[in-house]
Amino acid sequence: MDKFIIKGGSTLRGEVNISSAKNAVLPIIAATILCGDKCVIKNCPMLLDVYVIIDALKSLGAKIDINKISGEIVIDTSEVSDSHISSDLVRKMRGSFLIMGPMISRFGQFKISFPGGCNIGTRPIDLHLKGFKALGADVKLDHGYVEVSTRKLVGARIYLDFPSVGATENIMMAAVLAEGETIIENAAEEPEIGDLASFLNEMGAKITGIGTDTLRIIGVKTLNGISYKPIYDRIEAGTFMIAAAITKSKIKINGIYKDHIKPVVAKLREMGIGFQFRGQELIVDGRNDLKPIDIKTMPYPGFPTDMQSQMMSLLGCVYGTSVITETIFENRFMHVLELKRMGANIKIDGRSAVIEGISKFNGAEVKATDLRAGAALILAGLEADGETEISDIYHIDRGYVEIENKLYNIGAKIQRVKY
């Protein structure tokens, strides 16, 4: 087991390179099933979740070569068959449920264990299944398994009750080879959806409406293997912006799309943080005194739920009262208890947390409870007085490539130790 030990109080300086987006790479890897050909994914982040979905594809017969240095992975799905993914792989990472859409698209059927919930919520799949049924598939839930089968998929108009990221991606991948036109209304608009759609279009799909809440997909006969570089990770970039702000530092971040990070920059600017964009590079200046603000997480282009816990760490040490309301997941405040161990003054009231900023966190022994909660504890540790020990950091390794090295290289006193 590993843990992070952080000695707080360092000022950060220099520049950090952002990796490709985990939440774009996962559906893109799943989508390679659709072409039965060879695809090259460039600059792939070597994360635990990426290895899980790679193992899932390998268990279906895909041949996958990984170059850990260049981050290039070559995926040949020509010999993928409609076999079986072990349920522990699905339990390990619910993102592997994104394999369902491509598999029923290519083989007309697939069976996979019901993806578990996780710490942040029940994570239902009803909207995914609603889409598959609308496209003509039969859906069976049996002994903890989801079985979807169809003679053929036929385009349909589908309205998503909630703009679910995963459901939008799964239905899009099921529709690209369907007969006729599919319209997905109230679709999620996160940039990772657009990146998946761009990947599919480069393979030969016909998807329009990218970046809007209405996606139109005209089914095609075949898709071809391509080489592709996914977008940068806007959540990793946002996490480093807050690292600069919480340590009152000025740093340069390389690998940013201004539009993708607009909701986060808008709120940080309101607090008094300075931003200077130069193409895909950004100078973040967190040296001013900051003001408290209120945050409400919303589907894109609202403030992202994946930045909520990191924001709570920052607001936890900004003088004044701030309120964070989490509208996406029903249990995404587990970092509050850990931050309170570090001295934070936070009261939870239903879906809202009322934060009274303190002057300084105290270093303490804390536990990562989920991916972004873990990131929030790192940020609080950077600011804290004394030493912070974070255990269960496998949660953090799911979504951040060597975060300790990236922070160490810009001046943070952080190390990974085995225990």
167 binding ligand EPZ? (CB under 6 A): yes
113 binding ligand EPZ? (CB under 6 A): no
Name the strand (E) or helix (H) holding 200. helix 191-203
Cα-Cα-Cα-Cα torsion 43, 48, 54, 56, nearest 10 degrees, comes to -160
The answer for residues whose C-beta is within 8 angstroms of residue 86's C-beta and 6 or more apart is 59
Cβ atoms within 10 A of the Cβ of 67, count? 12
44 within 8 A of 20, measured Cβ to Cβ: yes
At residue 178, the 3 state secondary structure works out as coil
Helices (H), 190-233: 191-203
Q: How far is the CB of 215 from ligand EPZ (least distance, A)?
A: 15
Residues 23-42 interacting with ligand EPZ (rule: CB under 6 A): 23, 26
* 24 or 273: CB nearest ligand EPZ: 24
- Of 185, 141, 193, which is closest to residue 165 (Cα–Cα)? 193
Among 13, 81, 152, 162, the residue binding ligand EPZ under the rule CB under 6 A is: 162
| Residue 118 bears catalytic tag | yes
18 within 8 A of 256, measured Cβ to Cβ: yes
Cβ atoms within 10 A of the Cβ of 81, count? 11
207 binding ligand EPZ? (CB under 6 A): no
Show the site string, 290-319: x = touches ligand EPZ by CB under 6 A, - = not.
Answer: ---------------xx-------------
Residues written for the chain: 419
Cβ atoms within 10 A of the Cβ of 276, count? 11
Number of residues that bind ligand EPZ (CB under 6 A): 24
Query: Which region among 61-69, 122-130, 260-268, 342-350 touches ligand EPZ (by CB under 6 A)?
Result: 122-130
- Of 339, 379, 387, which is closest to residue 363 (Cα–Cα)? 387
Q: How far is the CB of 289 from ligand EPZ (least distance, A)?
A: 30
* 290 or 353: CB nearest ligand EPZ: 353
> Which residue is closest to ligand EPZ by CB?
166
404 binding ligand EPZ? (CB under 6 A): no
Among 172, 217, 324, 371, the residue binding ligand EPZ under the rule CB under 6 A is: 371
Cα–Cα dist 221/376, whole Å: 46
260 binding ligand EPZ? (CB under 6 A): no
Q: Which of 35, 39, 44, 118 is catalytic?
A: 118
Q: Which spans of this chain sit near ligand EPZ (rule: CB under 6 A)? A: 23, 26, 95, 121, 123-128, 162, 164-167, 188, 190, 305-306, 328-329, 371-372, 399
Catalytically active residues are: 118
